[in-house]
Chain A
Amino acid sequence: MSRASRRALAAVLALAAWGAGTVVGWVVGLPATAGAALAVGRAHAAFEPALDGSQPIFVLVLGSDARAGTPVDRGLADSIHILGIDPAKGRATLLGFPRDAWVPLATGGTGKINAAMPVGGPEAMVRTVEALTGIRLDYWALTGFSGLKRAVDEIGGLEVDLPTTIVGYDTTYPAGRQRLAGRDALQVARTRKSLANGDFGRSEHQGLLMIAALAQFRAEFEEDPTRLFAWLGAGLRHVRTTLSIEELVRLAFTASRVDPARVTNVVVPGSIGSAGGISIVNLSPSAQALYRDLARDGYIAPGAAARLGA
């Protein structure tokens, strides 16, 4: 074969190869594009980091009766609750203490449980309740009359379902669902004398208000996540706490997973007595079983509470 012939053959082969390559390339390209239908549909993703769910969380929630001129942390602690949260199971307990409960005080001696705060502030209340219950409290939160009133007003009122009619100082609140303004919520939280079970009933109503707040927060947060800051802002402007803002945000995420129907509202059982001529509450021996139950996982089942007289 002459040199010219060989060159011509090479050129023809190259052209043929280019053509073959083009066809191959086209075919190879087909699966990547011809079947390139884009994915459609709905999907949801959420990450809202809760507080560590491996162990229960305990918060001592205090309401002070400090009047004008007295610092809120030096008033009598007239509302005392342990909030226990079981993050792993999305349930919680509010364990209320009658303010007249006669107990050993961290500030010295024995007295009404609410008397520890004027002497030693919320920290003394924490030590008193820890010694009484054996439960290690992680945080405390404290508000006063005006704090509660303003916080409720700033979140736009509180929707509650009262189980019975409550005769307040100047207003009667019928049983049933209603929206309470700040002053009304305060009145429901403070009313004692018109209740058949006095201080025990009042403590129960305070727990009821807190559960109502949880239900309302959950609903609002679900509808509009930016409501979280409205609640945090209102809370932190009027509630003092050892929880940092980061922890509060995570606590709020945790709370948003707690079904209000799975929050047990109990008051430590006891009986009315007297000491040195003043009316007191002697806590029932069965209270120890309640404390142990709560300490275990932050939750007391309603049935267990009833069996223990709470």
Chain B
Amino acid sequence: MTPSRAAARRSRTRRLVVPLIALVLAIGVGGAGALWLRGGGAIVPTVVGGERRETPTLTFEVRKVEAQPISRTDPQRLGGEAEAAADRVRQTLEALYQRGFVDPETWGRFDAIAELFDPLAREQAELDLDVLTLGATAETTGFVEPRSGRLAIVVLTDAKDRAIQAIAGVRFRALAEASDGTTVRLASSGSFFLHRVDDAWRIIAYRIDRDDRPGATTSPAEASP
């Protein structure tokens, strides 16, 4: 092949390749743009109705803290110990519900909450993921807005009046929104049994009920901020 023929071929190739790349890029950008505008919940979870929304932070309200001693100490004198333990228990359960229900980065994922459970309880907790977290609903959920979270905590203290176990009654309400405007009122209630491991409180047992009901349907554009 002569140099002039080779140059002509390279020029023809360039002329074909450049539009081809532009074509592929255009299809890709167009497709992604369409998905983004639709607010594909399963793909970009925090986008609902075309709006990117901040992940809310869940805070539980502790409505009751009670000490139950196994020593003869007056329970009234154990208020400080019980309050401190209840605060740690609250943090554990806030982490469970924040990661399990509210945060789209982690909801429905057991690895995000495994550390909150005692090793003894982990296997069953993973099997109960659909009840303990958003579970399979996460697939179609775009956003979860916590509405209320309440705890009532009883703390068991040992012979030296140190908090060792706790039972927390929990009541959690939230609104889940799919990207098509469908909403569900999430309700989780029951009890968690926790014990102290060093300075952390881990879940050793639980008895939880879910009662999720359809909410009002809104168009994606009307979805509440």
A24, B178: Cβ atoms closer than 8 Å: no
Closest to B181 in A: A36
Query: Count of B residues near A, CB < 8 Å?
Result: 70
Contacts of A49 in B (CB 8 A): 120-121, 204-205
A19 touches B30 (CB 8 A): yes
The answer to whether A21 and B30 have CB atoms under 8 Å apart is: yes
CB atoms of A226 and B178 under 8 A apart = no
Q: Report A1-57 residues with CB < 8 Å from chain B CB.
A: 6, 9-10, 13-15, 17-26, 28-30, 32-34, 36-49
A230: Cβ under 8 A from any B Cβ: yes
**Contacting pair B207 A225 (CB below 8 A):** yes
* Chain B residues, CB < 8 A from A233: 68-70, 156
- Which residues of chain B are within 8 angstroms of A124 by Cβ–Cβ distance? none
Q: For residue A29, which residues in chain B have a CB less than 8 angstroms away from its CB?
A: 34-35, 38, 40, 43
* Docked CA distance A36–B26 (Å): 28
Contact A232 to B70, CB < 8 A, known contacts A45-B208, A46-B206, A226-B169: yes
Contact segment of B1-9, B54-62, B91-99, B136-144: B136-144
Q: Is B15 a contact partner of A32 (Cβ separation < 8 A)? A: no
Q: Residue B52 at the A interface, CB < 8 A?
A: no
Would you call the interface of chain B mostly helix, strand, loop, or mixed? Answer: mixed
Residue interface bits B114-126, CB-to-A below 8 A is 1, else 0 = 0000001100110
CB distance from A212 to the nearest CB of B (A): 22
Which of A162-170, A245-253, A274-282 lies at the interface with chain B? A245-253
Contact A21 B34 (CB under 8 A): yes
B132 neighbours in A (Cβ, 8 Å): 45
Q: How far is the CA of A13 from the CA of B27 in the complex (A)?
A: 11
Question: How far apart are the CA atoms of A29 and B34 in the complex, in Å?
Answer: 8
Rounded to whole Å, the gap between the CB of A178 and the closest CB of chain B is 27
Report B186-211 residues with CB < 8 Å from chain A CB. 191, 193, 195, 204-211
Across-interface contacts of A37 in B (CB, < 8 A): 140, 178, 182
A14 to chain B: which residues have CB within 8 Å? 19, 22-23, 26
Provided the pairs A17-B30, A36-B41, A230-B68 are in contact, do residues A47 and B137 lie with their beta carbons within 8 angstroms? no
Which A residues touch B86, using CB under 8 A? none
With A25-B34, A37-B140 already in contact, the answer to whether A43 and B131 are too (CB < 8 A) is yes
Which of A21, A26, A41 is the most central at the interface, judged by chain B CB atoms within 10 Å of its CB?
Answer: A21
Cα(A15)–Cα(B27), bound, Å: 9
Contact B164 A245 (CB under 8 A): yes
Q: How far is the CA of A253 from the CA of B158 in the complex (A)?
A: 19
Task: Tell me whether B79 is interfacial, beta carbon within 8 Å.
Answer: no
Residue of B whose beta carbon sits closest to that of A1: B15
Interfacial chain A residues near B207, Cβ < 8 Å: 45-46, 48, 225
Whole-angstrom distance between the Cβ of A8 and the nearest chain B Cβ: 11
List the B side residues contacting A9 at CB < 8 Å.
19
Residue among A37, A41, A48, A226 with max Cβ neighbours from chain B (10 Å): A226
Q: In the complex the two chains form, is A236's CB within 8 Å of B70's CB?
A: yes
A232 vs B167: C-alpha distance when bound (angstroms): 12
Which residues of chain A have C-beta atoms less than 8 A from B121's C-beta?
A: 47, 49
Cα-based distance from A18 to B18 in the complex (angstroms): 16
- Interface flag for B63 (CB, 8 Å): no
Q: Is the beta-carbon distance between B205 and A20 smaller than 8 angstroms?
A: no
B205 surroundings in chain A (CB, below 8 A): 47-49, 253
Report which of A13, A33, A44, A48 forms a contact with B40, defined as CB distance below 8 A: A33
Pairwise interchain contact A17-B23, C-beta atoms closer than 8 A: yes
B183 interface hit (Cβ, 8 Å):
yes
Q: Which residues of B contact A39 (CB under 8 A)?
A: 136-137, 140, 184, 212
Question: What is the minimal beta-carbon distance from B199 to any residue of chain A, in angstroms?
Answer: 18
Contact of A18 among B27, B70, B179 (CB under 8 A): B27
Q: Closest CB-CB distance, A156 to chain B, in whole Å?
A: 14
Q: Is B72 an interface residue (CB 8 A)?
A: yes
Max count, chain A CB within 10 A of own CB: residue among B29, B32, B180: B180
Known: A45-B128, A233-B69, A249-B193. A21 touches B22 (CB 8 A): no
Enumerate 22 A-B pairs (CB-CB under 8 Å) in ascending A order: A9-B19, A17-B24, A18-B26, A20-B30, A23-B34, A24-B30, A24-B34, A29-B40, A33-B178, A36-B42, A36-B180, A38-B140, A38-B184, A39-B184, A39-B212, A40-B214, A49-B205, A225-B167, A225-B169, A226-B152, A233-B69, A237-B72
B contact set with A: CB distance below 8 Å: 15, 18-19, 22-24, 26-35, 38-43, 66, 68-72, 120-121, 124-125, 128, 130-132, 136-137, 140-142, 152, 154, 156, 158, 164-165, 167, 169, 176, 178-180, 182-184, 191, 193, 195, 204-214
Q: Footprint of B on A, CB under 8 Å?
A: 6, 9-10, 13-15, 17-26, 28-30, 32-34, 36-49, 225-226, 228-230, 232-233, 236-237, 245-246, 249, 253
Q: Given contact pairs A14-B19, A20-B30, A237-B70, enumerate 15 new A-B contacts (beta carbons under 8 Å).
A: A17-B24, A18-B26, A24-B27, A29-B34, A29-B38, A30-B38, A32-B140, A33-B42, A39-B184, A44-B208, A45-B128, A45-B132, A47-B128, A229-B165, A253-B205
